[in-house]
Copies of this chain bind each other. A is one copy, B any other.
Amino acid sequence: MTEITKLQPACSQCNLQELCLPIGLSETELSLVDSLVDERRKIARGEAIFRSGDRFTAIYAVKLGFFKTEVLSEDGRHQVTSFYMPGEVLGMDGISAETHHCDAIALEDSEVCLIPFHELETISVKVPTMQRHLHRVMSREIVRDQGMMMMLGAMRAEERVIAFLLNLSQRYAARGYASTDFNLRMTREEIGSYLGLKLETVSRTFSHLQEEGVLQVEKKRIRLVDTVRLKKMLSQDRL
C-alpha cells in the first residue's frame, strides 16, 4: 500500500515551503534541500509511516492528509500523543535512540516527504540557517508537548475539548483553510485518547457545547459558531 514516488518537483516548488523550510534560503541552498528531499511516500488510511521500535532513519513532512502518533506502554495501554496536518513534521522522537518510540498512522490517504535525517544533519553543517530551523522545529515540539501536559494535568473535560478545537482551528487558519468550519479526521475515541477522556465524554461535551450555542456538530463536521465565547469558556472556567 505504500507507494514510493521519486522525481517529484521538490521543496523549491512546494506550496508548503514556508511551513517546512526556513525563510530566506538562497537558490543554491534551496537546491541543496531539493537534493535532500528526494522521496515522497503515499500512506493509505490506517497504514503506518513507522511503528514503535522501527529503526529511525528519517523525519517526515506531511504533504497531504492527516496523521496521529500513538505511544503504547508495556501493558497494552496506548495513547494518542499528537495529530499532524500538512506542513507539520513528525518522527523526531526517533533521534535520541535511533529508534522510534511511537506509531505514526495515517487517518486518511496521505502523502509525506521523507527527509533522511543524517543527510539533514550533514546539510545543516553547510547551511546554518537550516540547522537553526531544525532546532526550532524540535523546540516547537517540546513547547507544544508542555502545553499538552498543562492541558492534561490542569484542565477539566470541557476545557480540554474546547482547547482541542481552538487549536485545530488555529492550525487550519495558519494553512489558509477554513478555520471555523471543518471536518474532524479522527474518531471520538481518538480525540478522547488524545485528551485523556473517554469517547462518551467527548461526545457528551460536543452535545453540551452545541446546546450552549457555541458549536455545531454533525458527525465529523464541526462549525465553531462563537469562537469568542469559546475562548472565554477556556480561560474563565476554572477561575
Give the CA-CA distance A92 to B146 in the complex, in Å: 12
Give the CA-CA distance A176 to B111 in the complex, in Å: 47
How many whole Å from A71's CB to the nearest CB in chain B? 5
B79 touches A149 (CB 8 A): yes
How many whole Å from A21's CB to the nearest CB in chain B? 15
Q: Tell me if A's interface is mostly helix, strand, loop or mixed.
A: helix
A139 touches B93 (CB 8 A): yes
B236 touches A153 (CB 8 A): no
With A138-B142, A143-B101 given, is the CB distance from A152 to B196 under 8 Å?
A: yes
Interface residue tally on A, bucketed by range: 35 or more
Give the CA-CA distance A155 to B196 in the complex, in Å: 9
Q: Which B residue sits closest to A136, measured CB to CB?
A: B96
A196 touches B153 (CB 8 A): yes
Could you list 16 further interchain pairs (A-B, Cβ under 8 angstroms) beyond the known A93-B143, A145-B146? Answer: A73-B150, A73-B154, A73-B235, A74-B235, A77-B150, A77-B154, A79-B150, A95-B135, A95-B138, A121-B132, A124-B131, A125-B125, A125-B128, A134-B135, A148-B149, A152-B196
